[in-house]
Structure 1
Amino acid sequence: MEIRKKGKWLEIVVPKGWTERTIEDVLKNQLQIPKTMLHSLRMDKTVKLNHQITPWQSLLKSGDFIQLELFVEEEFGVTPEYKEISILYEDDHVLIVNKQAGIDTHPTKEGQLGTLANAVAFHYQTQGLQTKVRHVHRLDRDTTGAILFAKDRLSSSILDRMLERRDIKRTYLALVHGLMKQKKGKIDEPIGRDRHHPTRRRVSPTGQVATTHFNVLKTFPSKKLSLVELNLSTGRTHQIRVHMSHIGYPLVGDELYGGQAITKRQALHAHSLQLFHPITNDLIEVQAPLIDISEPYFEFMNLKKVPN
């Protein structure tokens, strides 16, 4: 399928497989545009066929052009602020950034600066792109690694739905205290708020369902540490930190959940991201290298030194 951006329009060249299908069928079932957005596109008359506004029941033929007014100018939603960002992947629809430690994903109060979202807004501005900064998921302030942004409203809607269905695979690395005896496994424990602490979470029978899969990559007997690969079937706040602490292996540096302060932050890194592109359906796979492994103990998380 041939897709291209032309100004504010997304232009799709109709492939042979769409012949004799209606515009509406393709929008609903092939592009999987959410109902609310379909209604908006219909009311605003922002779908064209071969540069003409055409009834949505019109049949398509190979080589036709479907055009969607997708790249409209929007407020960033945050104040653009210059800060270097490490880009892992970018096209007209998707941006994946390798987040460094010590910054929030997005502002938590009006006018806040210094977040990754502020830096992404500045990046958009330098590209001449005027669009809302849309993070698809977030990472804790001191967690590093791959984080996904949608650059248009359609991609944002599709990616949000993919995240809900767990169709976006996020793989983390964590350095934990203790030598883990079980090499692979699953932690199935609900997580809720800790009523005795404003930010902490805890395993609670009344909490939300939470599932974490783990795989021990390497142990370091002299340091009594384990390097663990983790995948989430759910996305609860502090999920990895809570679950690993609950089974007796808190993250190095994670004082909130019982880790020792031998590093300045918790040793958690979003190592890789895998998803199908929201528009083209092409497979996207990225790996986020650790930006700074100079701090003691973080060198143990450098996969280049860890055998498979």
Structure 2
Amino acid sequence: MEKVLSFTACERQQGKTVRDVLQQEYGVSRRLLIRAKHEGRILVNGSDVYVNHVLKADDEVIVMIQEETAETIEPQAMPIEVRFEDEDLLIVAKPAGLVVHPTRTHEDGTLANGVIAYWLANGEERKFRPVNRLDKDTSGLMIIAKNQWAHEQCSRMQKDRTILRTYVAAVHGMVEQEEGTIDAPIGLADHSIIERTVRADGQPARTHYRVLKREDGYTWVELRLDTGRTHQIRVHMRYLGHPLVGDDLYGGKRELIDRQALHAWRLEFAHPRSKELLCFEEPLPNDMRLLEK
């Protein structure tokens, strides 16, 4: 059984129930609260209590839950580039060419298989909970939550746009404006089950871009997302008239690189538990560095 939350009740929390404090101040969802009631323990000063227990100042509260395991995903040892890890989060650098989660066409050999094996090797049984996802051929930083509470907090932060995700890409042609915003809805293309396109009945999507430098035939841009639609950057840059170098699905050419030249290079957010501001930057991988002149 794992300690999900612990805190000392303050004067402001005196007279409130455990349920109210957990839901209102620690973002514990109703689903997680039910799990704590039926599959875990809630301790106040070392004694089991119910969620309607009324707190007093200086009460020591601990919430324990049996962590869900990932028995449906087969562990497969592989190199995992860990950039940060604590009781709540795992930040990894995903290489291009690696699928994030098993699918019908990629049943194993995914990042999920590798992370599960990594945790088991460290004596931890956990469920794979990616907070942000990257396309198979996109490289860069990913957040993986290590428990249900952390995943819920990160999902809420994503909705509130307080997880800042910044990408670097090389695109075909000379982008004229130094910076701009592409605000265009994205939906599935009529002729495909994979390709997306800008369409009026699509889901809202907004991408901010800034030119970093212009080179012979293509432009380096920095991109920041307000939404997380499938293939969003790739679709929006084609819509702008500047498909990503190497992205043959969306009009790019593979003469210089054999995958879309897109890298998730920066993450910035407040840690869900400590509220400490975390910032991670991942250098360009070799295949993208070779594009630089």
TM-score by length of 1: 0.88
Q: After superposition, what is the alpha-carbon deviation per residue over 1:225-270, rounded to whole angstroms, capped at 9, x for unaligned?
A: 1110111111111110011011111100001111111210000000
Q: 1:32 to 1:294 in 2, by over 3 A?
A: closer
Match of 1:105 in 2: 100
Q: 1:138 to 1:21 in 2, by over 3 A?
A: farther
- Runs of 4 or more, structure 1, over 4 Å off, are 15-19
Contact 1:73-1:131 within 8 A present in 2 as well: yes
Contact 1:78-1:111 within 8 A present in 2 as well: no
Separation of aligned partners in 1, 2:285 and 2:78: 15
Instruction: Tell me the percent identity.
Output: 37
Compute the displacement of 1:38 (Å): 1.6
Question: What does 1:262-281 correspond to in 2, within 5 Å?
Answer: 262=255, 263-281=257-275
Larger deviation, residues 68-77 vs 113-122: 68-77
Q: Any stretches of 5+ residues in structure 1 without a counterpart? A: 1-6, 301-308
Match of 1:284 in 2: 278
Counterpart pick for 2:180 among 167, 179, 185: 185
Larger deviation, residues 112-121 vs 279-288: 279-288
Match of 1:198 in 2: 193
Question: What does 1:143-222 correspond to in 2, within 5 Å?
Answer: 143-220=138-215
Secondary structure at the aligned position of 1:46 is classed as strand
Compute the displacement of 1:79 (Å): 0.8
Q: 1:127 to 1:60 in 2, by over 3 A?
A: farther
Q: 1:111 to 1:230 in 2, by over 3 A?
A: closer
Q: 1:139 to 1:175 in 2, by over 3 A?
A: same
Q: After superposition, what is the alpha-carbon deviation per residue over 1:45-90, rounded to whole angstroms, capped at 9, x for unaligned?
A: 621111111243422323x321111353523431111110111111
TM-score by length of 2: 0.92
Compute the displacement of 1:168 (Å): 1.3
Separation of aligned partners in 2, 1:96 and 1:147: 6
Secondary structure at the aligned position of 2:48 is classed as coil
Number of residues of Structure 1 aligned to a counterpart in Structure 2: 290
Match of 2:131 in 1: 136
Q: 1:110 to 1:250 in 2, by over 3 A?
A: closer
Larger deviation, residues 23-32 vs 51-60: 51-60
Q: Any stretches of 5+ residues in structure 2 without a counterpart? A: none
Contact 1:11-1:65 within 8 A present in 2 as well: no
Letter in 2 for 1:146: L
Contact 1:250-1:258 within 8 A present in 2 as well: yes
Separation of aligned partners in 2, 1:171 and 1:294: 16
Q: 1:206 to 1:199 in 2, by over 3 A?
A: same
Q: 1:89 to 1:18 in 2, by over 3 A?
A: farther
